[in-house]
A and B are shown apart, each in its own frame.
Chain A
Amino acid sequence: MTDFALRVLRRARTSLALFGYFLKPDRFFLVPLVVVVLLAGALLAASAGLSRVAPFVYTLF
């Protein structure tokens, strides 16, 4: 597996652990916000690296 793939895998695991952290009764109300923030972050990261994606991201905001 390439270094890049390993990095992505580790971050995917961390994202799952993050969801796990928020799946507690007193934190549950923040889950939608976590989802939005992570998706926005993933889109922004993708758009920074792939110029062809950028116009589609732009329309989302």
Chain B
Amino acid sequence: MAAVLGISGLYHDAAAALVVDGRVVAAMHEERLDRVKHSAALPERAARACLAMAGIDAKALDAVVFYEEPFAKFERLLGWLVQTFPRAPSYFARSLRQQLAKKLWVLDELSETLGVPRSKVSSREHHLCHAASAFFVSPFEEAAVLTVDGVGEHTTTAIWQGRGATLERRFSLEFPHSLGLFYAAITAYTGFEVLDGELKLMALAAHGTPRYVGELSRVLHLGADGDFALDARYFDAFTDTELGFGAELERLLGPARPANVPWDLARSPDDRRYADIARSAQVLTEEALLGLARRARREVAADALCLAGGVALNCTATARLAAEAGFSRVFVQPAAGDAGGALGAAILRALELGDPRPAPLGSPALGQAIDAGAGADLAERLGLGVSRPPRPFERAAEILARGGLVALATGRGEWGPRALGFRSLLARADDTGVRDAVNRRVKGRESFRPFAPSVLEANADALFHHVGADMTPFMTTVCRPRESALGELSGVVHVDGTSRLHSVSKERAPALAELLAEYERSTGRRALLDTSLNGAGEPIAGSENDAVAFFATHRAVDALLLDDVLVERRPR
């Protein structure tokens, strides 16, 4: 029986996860604590929070595991330096500086920071960690596992056979041939920030037509049998800027879009062109993933598929895989990106130490809990109205029914980038005016981005063609609403006719389940708009203080529910 801490960090989406005696007891994103979105730190705060949640001292840890092999990554950089010499001076100056300053010594740093003997600190391969993070918390005893991201040490894509407590690699592709880098380059080309804007590109794609598939097929060649290749001429990522596109891509597609310019899809032909390019990139990415998934189906005699890696967060693509790849079930855990590597690393070492495989992931609430009393104190000091009504959900449902916005911060925080009923901002789902107000007055997002619905699991089939039911509890796929439910869901259906459904059960998200039930009782409506509890450019709220600060600074939000404490504004 062992206590193992997994760590991902020093690139983006730093996180820690703690597995004790084969149970996932805590998992936490560093950004929820250091308040830097997609934090690239070594996640000391998250690690200490996980230990505190389990009541374990760092000295009692049996192992600390980092989510990638530092030497293998260094080897890739040096090898690439030799291959591209002398065309990549700035890229290598920057990369080597990062390596020498931090990354090569990360295991020493972890030992010193946490006070754990160096002999207990080790690392595991990046894609193996991704695969473990997906398969070992999935509901499947046997599955094909597909891991797809930018790049780990050398691998960018891999197919694994998961069986019981083992993972066996069946196929892999190596850098520079990477779907993640392809998608990142188009993200940068369309003016979004890489490692943050990929999901914006996916949302934009729904507004375009795939008329650039021919051109982009020269950039990403899809081969037979699931493999693919990138044409390096189109990417400066390999010689100059990390994860960037090159001048050749602009010659192929036209000038890139400048960053931070407001979008106007209705009036700007240029913006419509970028939407078409986004759609074309999305189509090619989906085709590549379908090819890989079909190969996985052939290579691995299993009926279920698990996905992980940053590309697995592309929920439009996972919906296509669920429908077309030939698997009966598909699973994507909520933190499918690099943060999830921390969980995979911890589970791998725990299994090596003889612990059992963890139970399937139930609730995603693996983060730090809020202290409602402390939040109430802060709210009072800020002059906000604080009460503990006997039926707080009744009052919240009343506010929602009249078109108000309710912030919900309850229990432990979510694992993964989505609000799943623990740090959520809620509104009625049947009103496009309310949706636009959420965007304009609180979120400040691009107007083309959709909002997601939360519905009780019991209502999911009535409202949606509920495909991918292993993913909808974690919002990692999209579903099509039923024709009869469109009126009830008008604020949460994207322009392509899909919704990123969150199916809610009492076991997984008790407070949101109760609020949805109360809302249905009082209004007859079964869906709520559910978006993350954060303002523009901020990480999701972590603590009660973050939630109260969010409420205090966003006057468009009518109430904040902190467990059983209701915070409202006093009449002026």
Binding site for B on A (CB under 8 A): 7, 10-11, 13-14, 17-18, 21-22, 27, 29-30, 33-34, 37-38, 41, 44-45
Assess whether B82 is in contact with A14, with CB atoms less than 8 Å apart: no
Assess whether A17 is in contact with B71, with CB atoms less than 8 Å apart: yes
Contact of A14 among B81, B96, B108 (CB under 8 A): B108
Given the complex of chains A and B, what is the CA–CA distance between A27 and B74 in angstroms?
A: 12
**Across chains A and B, which 5 residue pairs bring their CB atoms closest together, nearest first?**
A41-B100, A21-B71, A10-B108, A30-B78, A33-B78
Chain B interface residue bracket vs A: 10 to 19
Binding site for A on B (CB under 8 A): 71, 74-75, 78-79, 81-82, 96, 100, 104-105, 107-108, 111-112, 118
Assess whether B71 is in contact with A7, with CB atoms less than 8 Å apart: no
Assess whether B112 is in contact with A37, with CB atoms less than 8 Å apart: no
Contact partners of A17 in chain B: CB under 8 A: 71
Given the complex of chains A and B, what is the CA–CA distance between A34 and B79 in angstroms?
A: 11
Assess whether B96 is in contact with A37, with CB atoms less than 8 Å apart: yes
A-B contact list, 29 entries, CB within 8 Å: A7-B108, A7-B112, A10-B105, A10-B108, A10-B111, A11-B105, A11-B108, A13-B118, A14-B105, A14-B107, A14-B108, A17-B71, A18-B71, A18-B104, A21-B75, A22-B75, A30-B75, A30-B78, A33-B78, A33-B81, A33-B82, A34-B78, A37-B78, A37-B96, A37-B100, A38-B100, A41-B96, A41-B100, A44-B100
Contact partners of B79 in chain A: CB under 8 A: 30
Contact partners of A22 in chain B: CB under 8 A: 75
Contact partners of A45 in chain B: CB under 8 A: 100
Closest residue to A10 on the B side, CB-wise? B108
Contact partners of B81 in chain A: CB under 8 A: 33
Given the complex of chains A and B, what is the CA–CA distance between A21 and B70 in angstroms?
A: 11
Given the complex of chains A and B, what is the CA–CA distance between A41 and B78 in angstroms?
A: 14
Q: Which of B71, B96, B107, B111 is the most central at the interface, judged by chain A CB atoms within 10 Å of its CB?
A: B71
Given the complex of chains A and B, what is the CA–CA distance between A56 and B104 in angstroms?
A: 26
Contact partners of B75 in chain A: CB under 8 A: 21-22, 27, 30
Given the complex of chains A and B, what is the CA–CA distance between A14 and B96 in angstroms?
A: 16
Given the complex of chains A and B, what is the CA–CA distance between A38 and B78 in angstroms?
A: 12
Contact partners of B111 in chain A: CB under 8 A: 10
Given the complex of chains A and B, what is the CA–CA distance between A15 and B291 in angstroms?
A: 42
Contact partners of A7 in chain B: CB under 8 A: 108, 112
Contact partners of B118 in chain A: CB under 8 A: 10, 13
Given the complex of chains A and B, what is the CA–CA distance between A41 and B98 in angstroms?
A: 11
Given the complex of chains A and B, what is the CA–CA distance between A5 and B110 in angstroms?
A: 17
**What distance in Å separates the Cβ of A22 from its nearest Cβ neighbour in chain B?**
7
**What distance in Å separates the Cβ of B382 from its nearest Cβ neighbour in chain A?**
42
Closest residue to A38 on the B side, CB-wise? B100
Given the complex of chains A and B, what is the CA–CA distance between A10 and B106 in angstroms?
A: 11
Contact partners of A38 in chain B: CB under 8 A: 100
Contact partners of A27 in chain B: CB under 8 A: 75
Given the complex of chains A and B, what is the CA–CA distance between A29 and B218 in angstroms?
A: 33
Given the complex of chains A and B, what is the CA–CA distance between A35 and B74 in angstroms?
A: 13
Given the complex of chains A and B, what is the CA–CA distance between A18 and B75 in angstroms?
A: 10
**What distance in Å separates the Cβ of B90 from its nearest Cβ neighbour in chain A?**
16
**What distance in Å separates the Cβ of B155 from its nearest Cβ neighbour in chain A?**
16
Contact partners of B74 in chain A: CB under 8 A: 18
Given the complex of chains A and B, what is the CA–CA distance between A14 and B496 in angstroms?
A: 52
Given the complex of chains A and B, what is the CA–CA distance between A40 and B96 in angstroms?
A: 10
Given the complex of chains A and B, what is the CA–CA distance between A41 and B74 in angstroms?
A: 14
Closest residue to A21 on the B side, CB-wise? B71
Given the complex of chains A and B, what is the CA–CA distance between A13 and B105 in angstroms?
A: 10
Contact partners of B100 in chain A: CB under 8 A: 37-38, 41, 44-45
